[in-house]
Structure 1
């Protein structure tokens, strides 16, 4: 994986345009650059559909009960909104972790799936369901990614050329080893797309109570089938998924808006402060007050 053509150039481009640690937006709307000069504690993040291609270093991601590792020359593809716990596990000041992230456009994927006669994009397998996976990047994907980053040095070309290269990257993903997930989210009738509809509802209504029957109806499945496919796709039950969403938002409220743990818990749907504290400690390994002090000290995001 590490001998891919253009990978060294990709590493240097990311290092030059992301000089400090953190996540850096760019002049290309769909593109972000990530840098870390040290290994990190686990960071809880809500990932939207995207691909993360690693140019240097290694990272571990925990998705529900599943754990994956992606490293130099590999990429993580996420097909639906997912709460993920990520930690950089290989990085140093001299050899930082460097990664590019490209947001996925479902409309573009659907257009490629339906409107590319003669291409070798296979139709989606309706019963295969996988919300996130790690694969080796292909030479074609790395080459297109390097060309996209070169545009950061030619901003006058971005408006015309970036959309073309982003579309090519979507095509390369759909025709590469990551293609199964992309074809799933491009097809509105796939199992992953059905689960994705329920996930979208939970993301919008995490503070409200729900019944499995209602989520199953949104997904277009029977309750038993929905529960099975949801857990297969996300490695979580719907209730565990909602709890992760609630905790992610509660943390944001405590840091960004200065809410107390009780106030944040109430805002995200908890009636009992003690239940909120128990769930928080179970997920983050520390009670809300200690977790907040740690975040405010800059030890975690």
Structure 2
């Protein structure tokens, strides 16, 4: 066993022990540190549809599978998952047991902090990269400096009085570590003025706030200062799906949330998220979630 492998394993083992203390009960757990949460599962899970936001995930134990568009990612122990643009995803835990639970942590990143860190760093301090890479979700083996820094952030939970003074400093170090890692290119593209990813990020932000409105591809392309064909190509490269598919997933996930949490019927929820045809809504809902709206919501309520 190499020294680097042994050190990485030690860091992960320390994180497993510490996260296990904070996530003794199965489920998702928000920590007292803003943006930091933990996930524990004692058995494989069904597919979950959600939005991944700008953030760093670490799989500490077990395995999960993430699907974005038509691309499937396998996330194993010791892998870091970096999301740079809000993405509708389907994910599920594929490896977990009572003896060896699935354990992971998520740290949401602050875009303003990323911008500030990049502005402070000299270009010479950062690895060079090509502008041809546009992925918004990447999976890599977490390096030793990154896992060590994350461990120090998690340990801070044991010192609540120090959190206001040290948490942001450690988060800033995590951003610096990421920028100097193989995943740093994806963060830098997000904040580079005029980059493809920055333009698509602006469109994604607009869609999240206006998904119920009818959209024309030409209008979105104009907002991104691209031709329609170039816009469609870059949007798919960055998000893994077309703009219409992206809008559809936002609409359907919001409708599901409204029916589950506000007890709205399918017709009312469909209308609120922008559907004019109830039958079209039902077809597309069933295609995404595997069941009709009524059956899906009934099943989810029975399982809660």
Question: How does the TM-score come out when normalised to structure 2?
Answer: 0.95
Residue segments in structure 2 that go unaligned for 5+ positions in a row? none
Displacement after TM superposition at 1:110 (Å): 1.7
Two-structure CA RMSD over aligned residues (Å): 1.5
Match of 2:34 among 18, 21, 29: 29
Aligned to 1:53: 58
How many corresponding residue pairs? 299
Aligned to 1:84: 89
1:185-224: CA deviation from partner (whole Å, max 9, x where unpaired): 1223221111111111111011000111111122222211
Match of 1:295 among 281, 300, 303: 300
Give 1:1-12 correspondences, 5 Å limit. 3=6, 4=8, 5-12=10-17
Displacement after TM superposition at 1:123 (Å): 5.6
Displacement after TM superposition at 1:120 (Å): 2.6
> Is 1:39 the counterpart of 2:39 in the alignment?
no
Match of 1:158 among 159, 163, 176: 163
Match of 1:167 among 158, 168, 172: 172
Aligned to 1:100: 105
Aligned to 2:288: 283
Separation of aligned partners in 2, 1:265 and 1:141: 43
In structure 2, relative to structure 1, the CA distance for the partners of 1:19 and 1:279 (3 Å cut) is same
Separation of aligned partners in 1, 2:183 and 2:87: 17
Match of 2:196 among 179, 191, 202: 191
Separation of aligned partners in 2, 1:250 and 1:123: 43
After TM superposition, the structure 1 stretch with the greater mean CA deviation from structure 2, 184-193 or 42-51, is 184-193
Q: Which has the higher contact order (CA 8 A, sep 6+)?
A: 1
SS across alignment from 2:21:
helix
* Shift >6 Å, 4+ stretches: none
Displacement after TM superposition at 1:124 (Å): 5.7
1:123-171: CA deviation from partner (whole Å, max 9, x where unpaired): 6643321111111101011000100010011111111111111001111
CA contact (8 A) 1:52 1:76 kept: yes
In structure 2, relative to structure 1, the CA distance for the partners of 1:118 and 1:235 (3 Å cut) is closer
Aligned to 2:271: 266
Give 1:177-216 correspondences, 5 Å limit. 177-216=182-221
Aligned to 2:135: 130
CA contact (8 A) 1:31 1:103 kept: yes
Match of 2:226 among 221, 229, 253: 221
Separation of aligned partners in 2, 1:94 and 1:64: 33
Residue segments in structure 1 that go unaligned for 5+ positions in a row? none
SS across alignment from 2:125:
coil
CA contact (8 A) 1:2 1:72 kept: no
SS across alignment from 1:6:
helix
Question: How does the TM-score come out when normalised to structure 1?
Answer: 0.96
SS across alignment from 2:286:
helix
